Amino acid sequence: MDKKLVSFIVAGDPNTEATIKYMKALAKYSDIIELGIPFSDPMADGSAIQQADIRALNNGMKVSKVFDIIKEFRKTNSTPIVVMTYYNPVYFRGVENFIKSLKEAGGDGLIVVDLPVEDATDYLNICKKYNIKTVFLGAPNTTEERLKKIDDASSLFVYLVSVYGTTGTREGVSEEALNFLKNTKKVCKNPIYVGFGISKKEHVESFVNNGADGVIVGSAYVKIIEEFGDSEETIKRLEAKAKELKEGTK
C-alpha cells in the first residue's frame, strides 16, 4: 500500500493566484495539501518558511483570503486540504467561527501548532461538530504518556517532528529520528506522518522503510517558490519535486 505524501506551502506566497496554481501542481502527486496561514511569529518554522510568511503578509494575506483560496481550489480539485496555523488567528476569529469557516470553504483538517493537547478540549469538540480532522505534533522529547494523549486527540494522523529544532531541509536522516519513529509506532494507534527536514526521495524512502505511514514536506517547495517566484518554472519544478518525493513512498 502506498504511503502518503503531504505537501506544504504558505498561503499567499507570493500571491493568492500563484498559491492556487501551486496547489493544483502539487495535487497531481500529493495525497494531502497542507496550507499554512502566514503568521508573524512562526516559532516552529525555519528560515525558508519564515521568509515565505513575511512575503505573504507583505502582500496582504489574511485568514479570510486563505478560506477563499481553498474555495477556489475546491472548484476543480478534491485533494484533501489540512490548514496549518498557530492558535492566535484561530482565537482572534473565534474558535467555532474559524472551524465553521474552514469547513464551509472545503477544508478537511487543522493543525494548530502551539495548542497543547491538554488545553484542546473545547477545540476538539468543535472540530468534531464540523467534521474537521485534527492533527497534533509529537517531538523526540515527547514522553510516552503524552504521545498517547496526542494520539487520542488526533483524528487524521500524528505529526511526528523528526528532529529537534525548526523546519528546514537537511542532508540526511539521523538514526535518532528513525528510532523515535519506531518507538512512536509502538505507542500510537493513528497513522504516523513524519515531517521537518525531508526534501529528497531518499529521505522519504528511509522513513517509509522504517514504518512511517506518510511524510510531510514543506521547505523544499517553499525554497523553489522563493527562487522562481510567480512563474511557469515554479509550477514545473514543484510538480517535479512532488513526483520525485511521491516515488519514495512506493
Q: What is the pLDDT of residues 30-57, one digit of tens each?
A: 999 999 999 876 565 567 788 888 888 8
Q: What average pLDDT score do residues 84-103 get?
A: 96
pLDDT given for residue 172 in this prediction? 61
CB 134 within 8 A of CB 127: yes
Residue 47 vs residues 150, 167, 168, 186: alpha-carbon distances, Å: 27, 8, 7, 33
Q: Is 17 a catalytic residue?
A: no
- pLDDT beyond 80 at 224: yes
- pLDDT beyond 60 at 165: no
pLDDT given for residue 167 in this prediction? 45
Q: Is 122 a catalytic residue?
A: no
Consecutive H or E run containing 76: none
Residue 146 binned pLDDT confidence (cut-offs 50, 70, 90)? very high
Catalytic residue among 13, 17, 31, 34: 34
Mean residue pLDDT across the chain: 91
CA-CA distance, 85 to 44, in Å (whole number)?
11
- pLDDT beyond 70 at 204: yes
Catalytic residue among 13, 41, 45, 96: 45
Q: What average pLDDT score do residues 122-150 get?
A: 95
Higher pLDDT, 43 or 114: 114
Any idea which of 25-29, 164-168, 204-208, 224-228 has the lowest mean pLDDT?
164-168
| DSSP-assigned letter for residue 109 | E
Which grid coordinates are listed for 244?
520525485
Residue 108 binned pLDDT confidence (cut-offs 50, 70, 90)? very high
Q: Which domains does the chain have, with CATH numbers?
A: 4-247 (3.20.20.70)
- pLDDT beyond 90 at 152: yes
- pLDDT beyond 90 at 23: yes
Q: What average pLDDT score do residues 214-236 get?
A: 95
CB 104 within 8 A of CB 81: no
First to last CA, the chain: 8
Residue 194 sits at φ, ψ, to 5 deg, of -105, 135
CB 210 within 8 A of CB 178: yes
Q: What average pLDDT score do residues 199-227 get?
A: 94
CB 2 within 8 A of CB 248: no
- Does the bond joining 14 to the residue before it have cis omega, within 30 degrees of 0? yes
pLDDT tens-digit profile of 52-63?
888 888 888 899
Whole-number percent of the chain with pLDDT over 90: 78
pLDDT given for residue 160 in this prediction? 94
With CA atoms as reference, report the closest residue to 113 among 137, 138, 91, 142: 137
CA-CA distance, 160 to 139, in Å (whole number)?
6
Tell me whether residue 156 is exposed, middle or buried, using C-beta atoms within 10 angstroms of its C-beta: 0 to 12, 13 to 18, 19 or more: buried
| DSSP-assigned letter for residue 117 | G
